[in-house]
Structure 1
Amino acid sequence: MGISSDNVHGLVLAVSSSIFIGSSFIIKKKGLKKAGTTGTRAGSGGYTYLYEPWWWVGMITMIIGEIANFAAYAYAPAILVTPLGALSIIFSAVLAHFILEEKLHVFGVLGCVLCVVGSVSIVLHAPQEKNIHSVKEVWHLATEPGFIVYTCLVVILVGVLIFRYVPRYGQTHMVVYIGICSLMGSLTVMCVKAVGIALKLTFSGMNQFTYFQTWFFTVVVVACCLLQINYLNMALDTFNTAVVSPVYYVMFTSLTIFASMIMFKDWDSQNASQIATELCGFVTILSGTFLLHKTKDMGNSKTLESPVFASPSIRSSNSISG
């Protein structure tokens, strides 16, 4: 099956997003290092980095990346856009090698290769996006029984996690915080996709902001993002980032693809072979991500031979919008 023009646009935007976001981590870290030499470090509660131009360049770069990621959902299905977020790891690794001199073990290189192979597999077999001519069509998809059931289950599970399990197990079980973020993240991406489609149609001359559905999706995006940010910050503050990042990526991406399959019926036009290939590509990306984080500190050991790249930093706040 050929790649549609919309999928190509979504692919370019998703890859651009990964480049910008992957670069932003390195640029911001460079700014934080420079700020730490002239004042109190951020890790010690200092805010001198706010006066450092490099940090602001990193923030602007991240914002550009998030905008590109937002736009990608307007053109391509979530099953294509969401897994490509792992490519930011590779760009971080390459830049860190040349700028920060943070070494990565040879198995980290294998992790990068797995991410690329998995991404290529998904890109070549991704379903074509359905033609949507109004945000009302998205609303119709969102109000079908299947997605309503999924939404109700997510809301119930999130409510149980927040009111029952967060007070008891939040500080000891990472899956509680990550579960809240991932479940809400799957709904966020569906609404982000709806708003993205509305903006695309509006820019083409068909104003979608006259419909209440567009504003409803926008409000849900804002509310879900705020909730995700809150609990993701709690997870990062409580647990090791090197553990939080890959677990969040796996749960968030899996649930987002599942939600997209229900709402947009991405796999209806594909056969079993194509679906199996996409799933294999996704598993390959997950394997590469796991390998990168499992071996990210090995290159710093003097007992290991020939580290060849830099340790990457995976995106942890961008997933919020999918």
Structure 2
Amino acid sequence: MAAVRRWSEGMSSDNIKGLVLAISSSLFIGASFIVKKKGLKKAGASGVRAGVGGYSYLLEPLWWFGMITMVVGEIANFAAYAFAPAILVTPLGALSIIISAVLAHIILREKLHTFGILGCALCVVGSTTIVLHAPQERQIESVTEVWDLATEPGFLFYTALVLTAVFTLIFHFVPQYGQTHIMVYIGVCSLVGSISVMSVKALGIALKLTFSGMNQLLYPQTWAFTLVVASCVITQMNYLNKALDTFNTAVVSPIYYVMFTSLTILASVIMFKDWDRQTPTQIITEMCGFITILSGTFLLHKTKDMVDGPSLTTSISMRSLKHEEEDGFDEGVPLKRQDTSRIP
């Protein structure tokens, strides 16, 4: 208890607010994955699937309920970035993976093996480690300060690399490999997401300052960040829907988390220089916590089709057949779909 008291006393009030908002966000977002998946499957049974370019899910109330749940979670996440550094908020998204995995086990019948439970525990341990050693939020007095950080050569170079990679994926790889390689859709979402989070943080800071009496809406930089956020979110939602409809939820969620979190932390370190305010010991501890989270998500992914008991192969085969009969399409191949008609 004494250690917890020392930690809470050493942690700023803004960091605590950001922590609570980030945990709430993970709860809503984790549930939204499952609800949206159910909506996509229901819409795909009576129309053109989202994975092949259809938009029948827009007429499905269940998908909209999932979207509303995700929006609530994203709003909480948005607010969290206004109070706490990205290196604290973003890794806590691992909690959404746990929620998603548990609900997928209950609702979608995507079984959670004992090693999957261990993966969830690793995610919790890693998240706790990062929370205990997170840096204090940088004090910013104006949105123009954030703009200055965003226009430094280092972050401009990172942004240029991200945009180049995104356009290459969208115009070259998506038409050819989008339906067979999950990394194509998730790559677009994650790359765009790292820029989105930086803009969301900038916009959140602007709104926080505005509500405290320092109006930031007069600055054109505030509206520039708003435009970037809107563009990035639309792009992310489009390709995340494609990924969810094409591949297994238990695969999409952890891979998206790992790529998105890694790139977001990198972007935050470049733009906000989070590690400049920390000792090498703190940085190494945070990286150990992050690696622990990655290990947990990897374990969740690798054991997603395993069940307890001796008849592992039979159980996997029966489960795959059952999904095919219920869904009308096979989502059992997680990373790459088999396409016998493709010429090597």
Q: Do Structure 1 and Structure 2 share a fold, with TM-score over 0.5?
A: yes
Q: In the alignment, which residue of structure 2 is the partner of 1:177?
A: 185
Q: 8 Å contact 2:116–2:299 — kept in the other structure? A: yes
CA RMSD in angstroms, aligned pairs only: 2.9
Whether 1:106 aligns to 2:114 is yes
Whether 1:303 aligns to 2:286 is no
Q: 8 Å contact 1:32–1:49 — kept in the other structure? A: no
- Structure 1 residues 48 and 222: CA distance shift in structure 2, 3 A: closer
Shift of the alpha carbon at 1:27?
A: 5.9
Q: 8 Å contact 1:102–1:300 — kept in the other structure? A: no
Q: Quote the Cα distance in structure 2 between the aligned partners of 1:126 and 1:286.
A: 17
List alignment gaps of at least 5 residues for structure 2: 1-6, 48-55, 313-344
Q: In the alignment, which residue of structure 1 is the partner of 2:52?
A: none
Q: Equivalent residues in 2 for 1:1-322 (5 A)?
A: 2-25=10-33, 41-45=42-46, 58-94=66-102, 103-299=111-307, 303=311
Shift of the alpha carbon at 1:96?
A: 6.2
Q: Quote the Cα distance in structure 1 between the aligned partners of 2:57 and 2:302.
A: 32
Shift of the alpha carbon at 1:202?
A: 1.1
Tell me the percent identity.
72
Q: Deviations over 1:195-247 (max 9, x none)?
A: 11111111111111111000000001111122222333333444444333322
Shift of the alpha carbon at 1:166?
A: 3.3
Q: 8 Å contact 2:203–2:225 — kept in the other structure? A: yes
Q: Quote the Cα distance in structure 2 between the aligned partners of 1:116 and 1:57.
A: 28
Residue 104 of structure 1 aligns with an amino acid whose one-letter code is L
Shift of the alpha carbon at 1:99?
A: 7.0
List alignment gaps of at least 5 residues for structure 1: 305-322
Q: 8 Å contact 2:43–2:60 — kept in the other structure? A: no
Q: Secondary structure at the match of 1:268?
A: helix
Q: Quote the Cα distance in structure 2 between the aligned partners of 1:86 and 1:193.
A: 19
Q: Deviations over 1:51-91 (max 9, x none)?
A: 86x77655443322111011101011111111111102323
Shift of the alpha carbon at 1:111?
A: 0.8
Residue 296 of structure 1 aligns with an amino acid whose one-letter code is K
Q: Quote the Cα distance in structure 1 between the aligned partners of 2:39 and 2:169.
A: 35
Q: Quote the Cα distance in structure 2 between the aligned partners of 1:260 and 1:120.
A: 20
- Give the structure-2-normalised TM-score: 0.76
Q: 8 Å contact 1:118–1:283 — kept in the other structure? A: yes
Shift of the alpha carbon at 1:139?
A: 0.4
- 226-235 or 263-272, which deviates more: 226-235
- Structure 1 residues 25 and 162: CA distance shift in structure 2, 3 A: closer
Shift of the alpha carbon at 1:300?
A: 7.7
- 195-204 or 166-175, which deviates more: 166-175
Q: 8 Å contact 1:104–1:300 — kept in the other structure? A: no
Q: Deviations over 1:264-322 (max 9, x none)?
A: 00000111111111111111111111211222232387736xxxxxxxxxxxxxxxxxx
Q: Quote the Cα distance in structure 2 between the aligned partners of 1:284 and 1:147.
A: 27
Q: 8 Å contact 1:17–1:69 — kept in the other structure? A: yes
Shift of the alpha carbon at 1:184?
A: 1.3
Residue 76 of structure 2 aligns with an amino acid whose one-letter code is A
Residue 25 of structure 2 aligns with an amino acid whose one-letter code is S
Q: Deviations over 1:30-66 (max 9, x none)?
A: x869xx9xxxx334036799786x7765544332211
Q: Quote the Cα distance in structure 1 between the aligned partners of 2:260 and 2:100.
A: 21
Q: Deviations over 1:86-117 (max 9, x none)?
A: 10232345556777776422111111110110
Shift of the alpha carbon at 1:150?
A: 1.1
Shift of the alpha carbon at 1:156?
A: 2.0
Q: In the alignment, which residue of structure 2 is the partner of 1:310?
A: none
Q: In the alignment, which residue of structure 2 is the partner of 1:312?
A: none
Residue 296 of structure 2 aligns with an amino acid whose one-letter code is G
- Structure 1 residues 96 and 254: CA distance shift in structure 2, 3 A: closer
Shift of the alpha carbon at 1:168?
A: 4.2
Q: Quote the Cα distance in structure 1 between the aligned partners of 2:57 and 2:156.
A: 47
